[in-house]
Amino acid sequence: MKRNIRHLFSIILFLMVIVGLLSFRLSLKYGSIQLKNETPFVEIAKFRVINETLLKYASIDVGEAKLKKEIEELLEGNFGNSGRQRSFLSSGRYRIDVRAKSARGLPVRPRSPEFYKLWLSFRRLLQDWFRNRRFDQPDVMLDLKSLVKDLMDKNGGETKGLGRKYKSCAVVGNSGILLKSENGKLIDSHEVVIRLNNARTGNFERSVGKKTSISFVNSNVLHFCARRDGCFCHPYGANVPIVMYICQPAHFFDYLVCNTSHKAPLIVTDARFDVLCARVVKYYSLKQFVEITGKDVEEWGPVHDGANFHYSSGMQAVMLAVGVCDNVSIFGFGKSAGTKHHYHTNQKTELSLHDYEAEYDFYRDLVARPKVIPFISDKFKFPPVTIYQ
Ligand SMILES: *[C@@H]1O[C@H](CO)[C@@H](O)[C@H](O)[C@H]1NC(C)=O
Ligand SMILES: *[C@@H]1O[C@H](CO)[C@@H](O)[C@H](O)[C@H]1NC(C)=O
Ligand SMILES: *[C@@H]1O[C@H](CO)[C@@H](O)[C@H](O)[C@H]1NC(C)=O
């Protein structure tokens, strides 16, 4: 009897080792994209659709070395005289643009105790952020509700929504196509309306609506706000939470200065979420590049300024909505002949560091076949997405 049981155990053990080895081989094979998952066959079926060469290229962040150097310099306090930091730090060590105001409205003086405190917080934030900049599996989409929504519910005092996602969200892009229709009321009928980069709504309300629940900005926007009294950065009202992604690490300074004065939550996107968005957009950009030009994938970098290539604010706002809402409507994305680039400005040209065509391709997949979107785990349930044009 005992012998039989021991025999049975060794068979089970043997089977476990085999299964373990198999899944190990699988995860080696699909190294950068393997997700812990009980249904490997679904995963494999999915990979047949997704081109692995493009996946591999999309996973390489060519700007990483540059960013690392920039962060090291910032951490050393070595701002130098060069380039990008100049607008908020004037020449020499520890010098800050005197237009950057502290919460109490006083200019932040270099070498004051107040500055020193800010400096220490800045270093800590920057280090934590950089350490967190990686691709995580299962992906961060599963955590967006707790990372962003719950934080807003708690701090914004609006606890009624705790425990569930938003029922419906409208993401309002800034494309001139918005002015072609009068969707203002439809936009405002969503539980949550997300607007981008502080585009104003006044004069355009029939087309763009007037309700704003979340203001999504890139850190350049906050950087300009930081020069104003009390860091004024809320054209939609002081109680609207701001979600911001960091496009230059030096902007953590603006974040710290502004965070104390902003009543509603001011949330920096999780660095893992940034990495995920970057990979998804790069995948679509690579895919279009090889399909349209017929060129080798290696040639994508020089054409798209690989090191500076970046997703647009709109793309990340849509991803955020996909993570925290049960139903997503997209307005004001895309273009058509005779419309302006932005509904609220006269900007003529698109920024070359974005690939809008690739992003539109991504939105179309979000609507029609979200399962083929790479880097997002099968555990994540996509909400229905509708594009209004
Ligand atoms: C994947 O993309 C690469 C680069 O464009 C291409 O050479 C290859 O044929 C594609 N593979 C499949 C299976 O479509
Ligand atoms: C999503 O919400 C909007 C606004 O409430 C509504 O018009 C639309 O029918 C909803 N879509 C789905 C698929 O539930
Ligand atoms: C930003 O402000 C909020 C609310 O006052 C606070 O809880 C949070 O700790 C602040 N963040 C940093 C990094 O100081």
Nearest CA residue ID for atom 6, ligand 1: 53
**Fold type of domain 61-388:** sialyltransferase cstii, chain A (3.90.1480)
Asked whether 327 lines ligand 2 (CB < 6 A), one says: yes
**Does the pLDDT at position 71 exceed 70?**
yes
The answer, yes or no, to whether residue 332 has pLDDT greater than 80, is yes
Report d(CA 128, CA 205) in Å as an integer: 40
7 — pLDDT class (breaks 50, 70, 90):
low
Alpha-carbon distance 389 to 374, whole Å? 25
CA distances from 249 to 2, 71, 134, 162 (A): 65, 7, 16, 32
How far is it, in rounded angstroms, from Cα 112 to Cα 180? 53
**Does 335 score more than 90 pLDDT?**
no
- Identity of the amino acid at 21: L
Helix ranges (H only) for the chain are 2-29, 40-49, 52-58, 64-76, 113-131, 144, 150-155, 184-188, 205-208, 219-225, 252-259, 271-293, 300-304, 313-324, 356-368
Quick check: 215 and 243 in contact, CB under 8 A? Answer: yes
Return the pLDDT at 279.
94
Reduce the DSSP state of residue 178 to 3 states and report it: helix
**Strand order across the 214-218 sheet:** 266-268, 242-245, 214-218, 192-196, 169-172, 328-331, 385-388
Instruction: Tell me which ligand sits closest to the C-alpha of residue 155.
Output: 3
C-alpha 260, offset from chain centre: 23
* pLDDT single digits (tens) 288-330: 999 999 999 888 988 887 778 899 999 999 999 999 999 999 9
Query: Which tokens sit at 151?
Result: 């934080």
**pLDDT bucket at 8, cuts 50 / 70 / 90:** low
Pocket residues for ligand 1 (CB within 6 Å)? 51, 53-54, 290, 297
Query: Tokens for 118?
Result: 């800010």
DSSP state string for 35-64: ---S-HHHHHHHHHHS-HHHHHHHT--TTH
Tallying the residues shown for the chain, one arrives at 389
pLDDT digits (tens, 9 = 90+) for 86-102: 334 332 233 344 344 44
Q: What gap in Å lies between CA 85 and CA 102, rounded to an integer?
A: 18
What is the pLDDT at residue 197?
Answer: 93
Cβ of 382 below 6 Å from ligand 2: no
User: How many angstroms does the Cα of residue 53 sit away from the middle of ligand 1?
Assistant: 6
Confidence of residue 213 (pLDDT cuts 50, 70, 90): very high
261 Cβ closer than 6 Å to some ligand 3 atom: no
**What is the C-alpha to C-alpha distance for residues 90 and 72, in angstroms, rounded to an integer?**
19
To test the ligand 3 pocket, which listed residue (259, 260, 262, 268) has its Cβ within 8 A of the most ligand atoms?
259
If one compares 352 and 224, the residue with the highest pLDDT of the two is 224
**Domain residue limits, the chain:** 2-49, 61-388
Q: Is 215 in the pocket of ligand 3 (CB under 6 A)?
A: no
Task: Specify whether the CB–CB gap between 343 and 175 falls below 8 A.
Answer: yes
Percentage of the residues of the chain whose pLDDT score is greater than 70: 72
Q: CB neighbours of 387 closer than 8 A, spacing ≥ 6?
A: 329, 330, 333, 334, 363, 364, 367
Q: Which helix (H) or strand (E) holds 330?
A: strand 328-331
275-296 average pLDDT score: 93
Question: Among 332, 296, 336, 302, which residue's Cα sits nearest to residue 317?
Answer: 332
Nearest CA to ligand 2 atom 13: 384
SS3 312: coil
Mean pLDDT in the chain? 78
Question: How many contiguous H segments (helices) and E segments (strands) does the chain have?
Answer: 15, 7
- Report residue 21's pLDDT band, with 50, 70 and 90 as the boundaries: very low
Q: How far is ligand 3, taken at its centre, from the CA of residue 166, in Å?
A: 24
For residue 131, is pLDDT > 70? yes
Query: From the CA of 327, how far away is ligand 2's center (Å)?
Result: 6
Q: Which of 83, 81, 102 is nearest to 93 (CA)?
A: 81
Q: Give yes or no for residue 168 CB within 6 A of ligand 2.
A: yes
